Chain A
Amino acid sequence: NAGVTQTPKFQVLKTGQSMTLQCAQDMNHEYMSWYRQDPGMGLRLIHYSVGAGITDQGEVPNGYNVSRSTTEDFPLRLLSAAPSQTSVYFCASRLRDSLNHYNSPLHFGNGTRLTVT
């Protein structure tokens, strides 16, 4: 079972460059999300989606765009990379049970380690 797959695993960008972090899941989960993890800051939600065609902002959305054209894929775009976006990025998904959605645990990918110089 593949679960949540993130590519690439590592990336180095120069300031001002753009790139897309890929995320795909094969569990038919409606809910998908992006987090960044920084030392001492824990995990912070960037954007999330509750289904194809629907996205919303999380806690730290500035500098990032997302789209959700299919249930399986949820790419994260950095429009103009900045050193402050150096971080580890995690994609996560979960079932969206309409009655008890908050009971479903998140399933995480292995992360993308991004360095912006």
Chain B
Amino acid sequence: EVQLVESGGGLVQPGRSLKLSCAASGFTFSNYYMAWVRQAPKKGLEWVATISTSGSRTYYPDSVKGRFTISRDNAKSSLYLQMNSLKSEDTATYYCARDRDSYAQDVSFDYWGQGVMVTVSS
């Protein structure tokens, strides 16, 4: 059974940093692109970052580029999101998600974690 379990969320002041983790199990982690998707309270979904199977390629939207860094440790089947210079608008539930088919041209996310809440507030 595929499982994605996020951790590391919490309350953080604006301008500070936080690192999220996602522990994966039930599949060969190193064979899949992985992503982070967030959802602000009562709002819709926003893609935050994607990383290739080896970790050599990463992708971000402009809203987090230069502040967030996605990384992975295939030996530990773990995904990470380092978030720096946090803003109030980064307050959201952050989901770890698996790219359904890393060899497909089009990207969709077939498994999601339960999410972890990040609150940015003074």
Asked if chains A and B come from one complex, the reply is no
Residues on B close to A: CB < 8 A? none
Residues on A close to B: CB < 8 A? none
